[in-house]
Structure 1
Amino acid sequence: MRPEGRAEQRPDNRPHLRMAPSASSASPSASAGGGRWRALLASRAWRWVGGLLMGAVALFIVWLLVRQGMRVDWPAVWRALKELPPATLALGAALAWASHLAYGCFDLFGRHVVRHDVSAARTMAITLIAYPFTLNLGSLIGGVSVRYRLYSRQGLEVGQIAQVVVLSIVTNWVGYFLLACAVFWHWTPQLPEGWQIGAQQLRWLGVALAAVSVLYVLLCARRGGRPFTLRGRTLPLPTWRVALLQLALSSLNWSLMGGAVWALAQGRVPYPAALAMVLLGAVAGLVSRIPAGLGVLEAVGTAVLSAYLPVSQALAVVLAFRALYYLAPLALAALALLATELLWRRRAPPPATQQRSGQPATSP
């Protein structure tokens, strides 16, 4: 019987960290409770409840869009969109895609720390496919479901996939926290109507966020690359040098997003305002739980940018950013996922062959 958190040794002499099981996993009462939950989730009543909840969310989104849309001069927005020069759109698209490429490296930190066998190129490809789904459909679909499907076909276990996803999430937010501190301390954005927070409060909020990033680096330095265990769950940590790389790459990713907005505004908006729009829009969309921050990003972006641009032009910039950063990558990611599915089904051995060999099929 292995002690919790112990690293097993693979045939290739590479350590493999197992997720430590919780003490309740083997108890009969926990098993009975899990069985009841599975039965509830599989019941017809739960499906009806889930459908009604999703319908309520959809109706809320429609109401929000209609409410926001009635306040907008759409002919002026359309004119502002058509007036965006092709060179401006090209620069905005280049910065947006550069941000996606930077995010595509996030799972490489998980590959380095977890030490799984998926190549760096395939790890980046999986991240680039999953990220647009995360942006547009939420972290549960993009960050978990798509990654799980693609990684599991490469032979990774559930625990390894979870560790990679958690490290990617940590990478994303540690850089966000540092940039938020820098932006909010030196420059106060124009906030949307109804946001009850002052300039000084925003500055100290940025300091508190930056402290989280600093504490993360200190934790990595203290652990020296050893895994961190909390409530029976083991999370591998990088060394402090790798943690600093996480901070740098995450900050680059968010900075490129702000650069895309600044480029689409044709430089008529200060870069801190463009970056603040991205930072505030991201956290507002996260808190609202609306997929892709639909309507929320537009409201926040218009409020921040309208301090420098007419409302119609500010909204045109935000809509162009959504098209270039959210929708266009989603279309390509959907095609890539479909191609991956077709390729896997074509090359997977037939079920009879798998049963004789006793081995599951893996993606090429």
Structure 2
Amino acid sequence: MKTRTARLAHRRWWPWLRRIAVWAFFGLVAWLLVNQARAIDWQEVFDAMRALPAATLWLAGALAAGSFGTYSTYDLLGRHLTHHPLGARTVMGVTFISYAFNLNLGSLVGGVAFRYRLYSRLGLPNGTITRVLGFSMLTNWLGYLVVAGAAFCFWPLVLPAEWKIGNGGLRILGAVLLLLAAAYFVLCAFASGHVFRLRHYPFKVPSLRMALLQLAMSCLNWALIGGVIWVLLQGAVAYHAVLAVLLVAAVAGVVTHVPAGLGVLEAVFLALLSHEVAQGRLLGVLLVYRGLYYLLPLGMATVAYFVTELRARRWRHATSPKP
């Protein structure tokens, strides 16, 4: 009886505690941003943006395009596993649209809602969509575990003195992330084909070969994203440091549930790299990065979304039984 009462109390209080923690973190980020904004010379920011060479912008844009192209292949793995009939170009188009909206509007709207909307309009059942979506998310975060684990374990950041966690703590965190990734590969090696049920949804363990393909694709994507910011910084900071800060910012954005990580990305970069790069220049680079990696793809995805909706409507009319 006491155990049941404790469980009920936990269910009642845990959501509130989680919300309080999220809002406290969000408040801390907002406070950091306000404090940083007061000290920033905004003219310096705009001058830094205008000073970026055209060749640098083109190279950063090419890396951003490579990242989106890589991410757009994630759902092809789910297509291979589920054997659904949609063509590769259609699947990549849906993934691109979902990813662009995911970055700007959050995972529930972009990554989930848009996939369900578009795939269901194209004739896929919800069960298949769930499997494709779940495997795509697994692919993305598998690469994160390995890239972040390696970065934190072997090239730890120089953290501000007031931070509680030091280089030793980062190395431990990196090792834990690598162990989690290794556990997944062990599972795929020895339990390939086994079906687990996660909250009533079946998960079929992929083969080790598929897991390695997931790893290669996701690691490449994270590496390309870090490359965009590194190129815009024109080598002012070591690549592994830029990548590590990006990985910290990515988790911070997920924890706060802020659409597009708005303000979170900037706060983390300013906190961790402002001792190496002038604040105005760093913020200018991040604003250009947002334009290249967030806003430009969002505009393209908006057009592609309406085109996909139109094609889906035509496909449904063409395949519906005639009276």
TM-score range, shorter chain: 0.7 to 0.9
| Structure 1 residue 142 displacement after superposition | 1.0
Q: Does residue 1:260 correspond to 2:222, yes or no? A: no
Of 86, 104, 114, the residue aligned with 1:146 is 114
Q: Does residue 1:285 correspond to 2:253, yes or no? A: yes
| Structure 1 residue 316 displacement after superposition | 1.3
Measure the CA separation in 1 of the matches of 2:290 and 2:262.
10
Structure 2 regions of 5+ residues with no counterpart? 1-22
Partner of 1:26: none
Distance 1:309 1:174, change over 3 A: same
Partner of 2:82: 114
Measure the CA separation in 2 of the matches of 1:248 and 1:306.
32
| Structure 1 residue 344 displacement after superposition | 3.6
Partner of 1:316: 284
* Match runs of 1:36-55 below 5 Å: none
Measure the CA separation in 2 of the matches of 1:330 and 1:318.
17
| Structure 1 residue 321 displacement after superposition | 1.2
Of 160, 164, 178, the residue aligned with 2:146 is 178
Measure the CA separation in 2 of the matches of 1:304 and 1:61.
15
| RMSD across aligned positions (CA) | 2.6
Of 80, 88, 91, the residue aligned with 2:56 is 88
Bigger fraction of residues in helix? 2
Partner of 1:303: 271
Query: Secondary structure of the equivalent of 1:229?
Result: strand
Instruction: Report the TM-score, using the length of structure 1 for normalisation.
Output: 0.76
Distance 1:206 1:340, change over 3 A: same
Measure the CA separation in 1 of the matches of 2:315 and 2:214.
36
| Structure 1 residue 309 displacement after superposition | 1.2
Partner of 1:134: 102
Aligned residues: 299
Structure 1 regions of 5+ residues with no counterpart? 1-55, 358-364
| Structure 1 residue 345 displacement after superposition | 4.0
Measure the CA separation in 2 of the matches of 1:160 and 1:234.
11
Partner of 2:46: 78
Of 196, 203, 210, the residue aligned with 1:242 is 210
| Structure 1 residue 229 displacement after superposition | 2.4
Distance 1:116 1:345, change over 3 A: closer
For 1:129, give the aligned amino acid. I
Answer yes or no: is the 8 Å Cα contact 2:145–2:178 preserved in 1. yes
After superposition, give the CA deviation of every residue in 1:326-356 in whole Å (9 maximum; x if it has no partner). 1111111011102222344456539xx9586
After superposition, give the CA deviation of every residue in 1:122-165 in whole Å (9 maximum; x if it has no partner). 11111011101111111111111111111112221111101111
Answer yes or no: is the 8 Å Cα contact 1:302–1:318 preserved in 2. no
Larger Rg: 1
Instruction: Report the TM-score, using the length of structure 2 for normalisation.
Output: 0.85
Measure the CA separation in 1 of the matches of 2:28 and 2:321.
47
| Structure 1 residue 182 displacement after superposition | 1.2
For 1:264, give the aligned amino acid. L
Measure the CA separation in 1 of the matches of 2:161 and 2:298.
31
For 1:237, give the aligned amino acid. V
After superposition, give the CA deviation of every residue in 1:74-128 in whole Å (9 maximum; x if it has no partner). 1111111110111111111111110111111111111111221111221111101
| Structure 1 residue 234 displacement after superposition | 0.5
Of 175, 181, 196, the residue aligned with 1:213 is 181
For 1:246, give the aligned amino acid. Q
Distance 1:231 1:335, change over 3 A: closer
Query: Secondary structure of the equivalent of 1:116?
Result: coil
Distance 1:116 1:355, change over 3 A: closer
For 1:229, give the aligned amino acid. R
Q: Does residue 1:98 correspond to 2:66, yes or no? A: yes
Query: Secondary structure of the equivalent of 2:197?
Result: strand
Measure the CA separation in 1 of the matches of 2:121 and 2:143.
31
For 2:262, give the aligned amino acid. L
Query: Secondary structure of the equivalent of 1:152?
Result: helix
